[in-house]
Amino acid sequence: LPLPPTFSIIFLPLIPIIAYFLIHFISNHSSNLPPGPLSIPIFGNWLQVGNDLNHRLLASMSQTYGSVFLLKLGSKNLAVVSDPALATQVLHNQGIEFGSRPRNVVFDIFTGNGQDMVFTIYGDHWRKMRRIMTLPFFTNKVVQHYSNMWEVEMDQVVHDLNKDEGAKTEGIVVRKRLQLMLYNIMYRMMFNAKFESQEDPLFIEATRFNSERSRLAQSFEYNYGDFIPLLRPFLRGYLNKCRDLQSRRLAFFNHYFVEQRRKIMAANGEKHKISCAIDHIIDAQIKGEISEENVLYIVENINVAAIETTLWSMEWAIAELVNHPTIQSKIRDEISIVHKGAPVTESNLHELPYLQATVKETLRLHTPIPLLVPHMNLEEAKLGGYIIPKESKVVVNAWWLANNPAWWKDPEEFRPERFLDEECGTEAVAGGKVDFRYLPFGMGRRSCPGIILALPILGLVIAKLVSNFEMKAPQGVEKIDVSEKGGQFSLHIANHSTVVFNPIKA
Ligand code: HEM
């Protein structure tokens, strides 16, 4: 039967498109890939889902596609895990299979093709780097050794706020001062070195280098060349910018800090050779365990992983405490009852459960790395009955695990009490039973080793601020803005608000 001409004109051109979707549908189902939106050639789902694949968007997609779903971003696969049972598989039971990290053209540059620890694949190099970093950074002995120094840096912040008349009246944006404090804490641990003030040219340079690195690495500007290999030549300018920044940045760390330690170590001779973390790392390099480049990439990793994450958490905690004065008073009361005027120190933090619950609640509601650092399977793997193609980027939506109303009571509320009541026993790190709903530091092999430093640092800062100041919104402002700015790697406060620090009379 001949087709009417209008039918042919309208429908014939659609046949290849329909055929493509049918073939795609059948092949997805026959190869048992996780569900996900239908993708188009070359672009995959990229044009549908856009660039900003943040924790909230991915959580809402999980309502449609399920607890593991697959997005195609050009030539790359992104598997998104949104429930505790599957998170257990990725991070724990199948932790080796999913224990690598994906990189892209830009991360290849910033990690020297995986010469670092954070972004290297799971294997001998990662194991060696993690072992070498553990002794000088991530043990209880390190915490005991340095906690006095942390407190000195924190007391200096309290002192500066007390001196600042503006902080008591119209208020200040405290972020920059806390940033200096955290740089000093980390640089004293790493190099026995510190910055004099926010105006110290070396501090300005270090923060500039690090924030430019974060901007270039996290930008969506280079997605087109990353997702669509054919377009990679157009990225040349961008990649050159990254290369130039990285070589100047590593030279800066080397010249001003690492080389200084090498000289001091040489001058001290064998006897007092090691006095800070990088001395240990240099020692491992001298013994031939790692290369000089690896030393610099360890410095780079600490700069990236340790400082801003802890700073975002502090900003969130302060913002929530300003908006919840009763929580501030409860912390203050707890400290005065338990410590009766004696200072809070690292060794007695465990006596302050409400303070610790406040830290936990901050990291739950405002998970600083909401999708963890992406994982990757080097080989094809099975997850939840589906096939995850090899070299997929696998993200665990840790923010959603900790904010899904199916698993938490009134998750949108900032309520530290939950960790003393219905959630008592829920810990960021496993004492006994692992709770995969609460993973602000990840879990398993690639989990954050810095938790051992971050939790006491956060507890101490909050304790010092709350016991010395009533933190308030400026006059005329009822609540400070807690809108968030999200991205693949970070969830930070969108606006660095002004806070009034009203000294509490002793
Ligand atoms: C990895 C969170 C502070 C060093 C990670 C991961 C998360 C995280 C979610 C990835 C886990 C995974 O992929 O499964 C945080 C948060 C912090 C914090 C929320 C502060 C509140 C620190 C500090 C240090 C540090 C202070 C170092 C002094 C690292 C390193 C890794 C890592 C080296 C990579 C581990 C690996 O790949 O094997 N962190 N972190 N972090 N973090 Fe942290």
pTM of the predicted protein model: 0.93
Angle between helices 277-286 and 124-137 (to 10 degrees): 140
- Whether the CB of 450 sits within 6 Å of ligand 1: yes
Contact 258, 296 (CB under 8 A): yes
- Distance between CA atoms of residues 74 and 347, nearest Å: 51
Secondary structure (3-state) at 76: strand
Q: What is the pLDDT of residue 435?
A: 78
Contact 499, 174 (CB under 8 A): yes
Tell me how far the alpha carbon of residue 139 lies from the centroid of ligand 1, in angstroms.
14
Residue nearest to atom 32 of ligand 1 (CA): 448
Which atom of ligand 1 is nearest the CA belonging to 458? 21
Burial class (CB in 10 A: 0-12, 13-18, 19+), 396: buried
E strand map for 362-411: 375-376, 381-383, 386-388, 393-396
Residue nearest to atom 39 of ligand 1 (CA): 448
- Distance between CA atoms of residues 263 and 261, nearest Å: 5
Q: What is the pLDDT of residue 427?
A: 77
- Distance between CA atoms of residues 274 and 255, nearest Å: 19
- Distance between CA atoms of residues 24 and 35, nearest Å: 12
Q: What is the pLDDT of residue 430?
A: 47
- Whether the CB of 302 sits within 6 Å of ligand 1: yes
Tell me how far the alpha carbon of residue 2 lies from the centroid of ligand 1, in angstroms.
67
Tell me how far the alpha carbon of residue 121 lies from the centroid of ligand 1, in angstroms.
16
- Whether the CB of 402 sits within 6 Å of ligand 1: no
Burial class (CB in 10 A: 0-12, 13-18, 19+), 434: middle
Question: What would the pLDDT profile of 107-120 be if each residue is shown by its tens digit?
Answer: 999 999 999 999 99
Tell me how far the alpha carbon of residue 440 lies from the centroid of ligand 1, in angstroms.
9
For tokens 């080389």, name the residue: 259
Which atom of ligand 1 is nearest the CA belonging to 101? 37
**Nearest-5° Cα angle at 281, 279 to 283:** 70
Residues of the chain predicted below pLDDT 70: 1-30, 272, 429-434, 487-488, 506
Which atom of ligand 1 is nearest the CA belonging to 446? 38
- Distance between CA atoms of residues 154 and 172, nearest Å: 17
Q: What is the DSSP letter of 377?
A: -
- Whether the CB of 81 sits within 6 Å of ligand 1: no
Contact 427, 299 (CB under 8 A): no
Residue nearest to atom 37 of ligand 1 (CA): 118
How many residues belong to the chain?
506
- Distance between CA atoms of residues 246 and 108, nearest Å: 11
ipTM above 0.95, yes or no: yes
Q: What is the pLDDT of residue 476?
A: 93
Tell me how far the alpha carbon of residue 425 lies from the centroid of ligand 1, in angstroms.
22
Other CB atoms closer than 10 Å to residue 464's CB: what's the count?
18
Contact 92, 114 (CB under 8 A): no
- Distance between CA atoms of residues 481 and 494, nearest Å: 8
Q: What is the pLDDT of residue 220?
A: 87
Question: What would the pLDDT profile of 458-500 be if each residue is shown by its tens digit?
Answer: 999 999 999 999 999 999 999 999 999 876 678 999 999 899 9
Q: What is the pLDDT of residue 294?
A: 98
- Whether the CB of 44 sits within 6 Å of ligand 1: no
Residue nearest to atom 20 of ligand 1 (CA): 310
Q: Pairing state of beta strands 68-73 and 76-81?
A: antiparallel
Q: Following CA atoms 459, 462, 467, 473 in sequence, which dihedral angle do they give, to the nearest 10 degrees?
A: -160
- Whether the CB of 182 sits within 6 Å of ligand 1: no
Q: Pairing state of beta strands 386-388 and 381-383?
A: antiparallel
Burial class (CB in 10 A: 0-12, 13-18, 19+), 236: exposed
Residue nearest to atom 13 of ligand 1 (CA): 373
Cβ neighbours for 27, distance < 8 A, ≥ 6 positions apart: none
Residue nearest to atom 6 of ligand 1 (CA): 448
Tell me how far the alpha carbon of residue 481 lies from the centroid of ligand 1, in angstroms.
27
Contact 42, 74 (CB under 8 A): yes
Residue nearest to atom 21 of ligand 1 (CA): 310
- Whether the CB of 189 sits within 6 Å of ligand 1: no
Residue 305's nearest CA partner among 188, 441, 496 is 441
Secondary structure (3-state) at 162: helix
Q: Hey, which of 137, 441, 493 would you mutate to test ligand 1's pocket, going by the most ligand atoms within 8 Å of its Cβ?
A: 441
One-letter amino acid at 328 equals: Q
Tell me how far the alpha carbon of residue 473 lies from the centroid of ligand 1, in angstroms.
31
